Amino acid sequence: MADSDAGPMLRRYDTLVKMMFLGDSGVGKTCLMSSYAGQPVSDSHISTIGIDFKMHTVDIDGHIARIQMWDTAGQERFHTLCTQYYRRAEGVMLVFDITNEESFRNVRMWLQSVEDHAPQDVCQVLIGNKSDLDGNRRVRKTDASALAEEFGITYFETSAKLTTNNNMSEAMELLIRQILEKKGVFNDEANKDEHTASIRLDENPASTQSTQSSYCSC
């Protein structure tokens, strides 16, 4: 999967994919998004307030997908605000911190929130973040894998600090492929012309504009 995020604002793409990152505050959602989008990753911990988003373009087997990544606040006081975005999500990255057992226990709460508010067929992936801190691990891989298997989703361990073998590209590609397959991109050639219609990047819904741009703990 080749990244293709450079170019003018009028760059064309085939499909817009809307993806949410969910999880407790401080698990590293913002850092993962920044790392994946090729943006600087900060060591400071400034929690996201409300909803922020980042954009990134990828090439999946010649199909250009523009990924709109929604960065949600993990604090409880913002949950009501964030749930209004669930119903428009096509994919969900459920993130916990492998060094924080409570963030893993709360994954069930986030899963329940997805079930309550997101489309019934939304694609999901479970992410155990901060794999670079394996020496401080508090969540066993077997436990995380078992939880993912229970809910029929795939588990990856990632790190925004690692520049290679961080599994983020693999996790994102899997989720994007699942979404594109549901859209019929790979198995419905009759819709190809519709998918490849020119789309201007400045036509994104206004409701997805960020409330505050910030970084969180990696």
What does pLDDT average to in each consecutive run of 10 residues of the chain (218 residues)?
Answer: 46 88 91 84 54 86 93 58 80 97 96 92 96 96 98 95 85 96 76 45 39 39
Name the token pair of 181.
């397959």
pTM for this entry: 0.76
Closest residue by Cα to residue 204 from 58, 55, 91: 55
pLDDT score, position 50: 52
Assigned CATH topology for domain 2-41+50-76+85-201: Rossmann fold (3.40.50)
Residue appearing with tokens 């206004």: 206
Spell 30-56 as b/e; 16+ CB within 10 A means b. Answer: bbbbbbbeeeebbeeeebbbbbbbbeb
- Tell me what pLDDT residue 204 has: 43
- Beta-carbon contacts of residue 187 (< 8 Å; ≥ 6 apart): 181
Instruction: Show the DSSP H helices in the chain as ranges.
Output: 29-36, 79-86, 101-105, 107-117, 141-150, 168-182, 192-195
The rounded Cα 29 to chain-centroid distance in angstroms is 8
Alpha-carbon gap, residue 215 to 211, rounded angstroms: 13
